[in-house]
Structure 1
Amino acid sequence: MSAQGGNSPAHDVWADLRLTTQARIGLGRAGNSLPTTRVLEFAAAHAAARDAVHDPLDADAFAATLTDLGLGEPLRVASQARSRGEYLRRPDLGRQPAAGTELPEAATDIGIVLADGLSPRALVDHAHGMVKALVEAFDGRYTIAPPVIATQARVALGDHIGAALGVTTMIVIIGERPGLSVADSLGIYLTHRPQVGRTDADRNCISNIHPPDGLGYAAAAGVTAALVAGARSLGRSGVDLKDTSRQELDTAAVVSLEPAQE
């Protein structure tokens, strides 16, 4: 009972935990259903996820945002999926370049594909910052081909692009499938010596890139740079290639704690 004689509101034991995650936890209930606020939040998240999947990428406007990266004029590639609807119904068409696709041979160390995937919004929101962080992480060690904007694209489309460009390592930055917590998440897929017919076992993936709540650009770029270096040393990517960036950070931290030698 409160001092005024009324009932004090129940303490929400989940409030602090909700600050640490985007997951829906401790939703409560109103009778046999969820509280109205939670139902509306769910509906809004569902609508955002649907919009992220269905809204097409404005390739012209997106290309204009990349001009200050210093990588050259972006190239364009479309998959065989002729519409957003066909892309969603036929994943196989998103893995193949449209008929007549031609790309100039680049013969560089790194190729970068910016693919709309299942969330073009994620590409618009995060691709510029992600590519900028990659360029900084590579620190001039590798030659980089002009970026390729790929529409109605699945990850494997990068194999066709990488083979045509003649790059040593292909990095596909793609919009990930939206969920009810995140609609603008990017993924990075790295394939060493890309060629048509590569499988997921030949790739390494870095997921959940969407600062400030997900993985940050610098952290993702650091992992990618470590994987590129590892792939060049190992001669391949995929299941045999492990991320060593965390080990390098741990080693650096131990070294920094050692007393200076006189």
Structure 2
Amino acid sequence: MTTTPASHRVAAIQMVSGDSLQANLDAASRLVAEAAWRGAQLVALPEYFYLMPADEPRRVALAEPFGDGPIQRHLTGLARTHRVWLIGGTVPLQSLAPGRIYNSSLLFDPQGECAARYDKVHLFGFHHGEQHYDEAATMCAGREPVVASTPLGRLKLSVCYDLRFPEFYRLPPAPELIAAPAAFTRTTGEAHWELLLRARAVENLAYVIAAGQGGEHPGGKQTFGHSMIVDPWGKVLDCVASGEGIALADIDLALQAELRCRLPALSHRVFP
């Protein structure tokens, strides 16, 4: 795979994180190193890459102050060592609410500096039979969308459940890239994951980089995987179905500009 002057290689890392912080950090290190070795300039880790415990309060216990903590230091080191733009999946950041955290996606530049922070706005809730999820019980919702400037274009940060809210992605400025680290459940993933990713790509004529969890986790939780990179026309460029792996693709900004010129849907919007 070779890049052209207008293209940039990106990677979506798929993990099957468990309940050991160190083991998960080690796995992330290995996979980011491989992605960088394969030429990726921007690498995305999945939501909760650092921990997928059976007991949710264990995640809350790892909450860090923004700008410091072992998870953030680890991400800083990875970005700096491999000279990549790194989307650190999500990181548990402290809030003022007792027993609750922000589920935050942090973007690091190749010098290891945090270039952007996005606190997940839409908190997942799902109830079906024995499956019960209520992120609001342990998380605080963010309030602001975030678009970061990178050499690959404007990058919209989002997380998992955000994908179900198309209006969130249509807020200006229009991004060239959308990041969607996730831990989609197997039930909802089988039904909607690829559909949502491709819809967000087509609606926004943007590349979507979706790094997910893909397997069975402590407590019997099952995530859908299928980490993928989708182009602005809705084509899946690469996908990892299950288990650990790396979805890798070249994004062509010249092609994207051509598509936006050919089909100027973003400028044809009537309603904000």
Using structure 2 for the length normalisation, give the TM-score.
0.31
Q: Which has the higher strand share?
A: 2
Larger Rg: 1
Using structure 1 for the length normalisation, give the TM-score.
0.32
Q: Which has the higher helix share?
A: 1
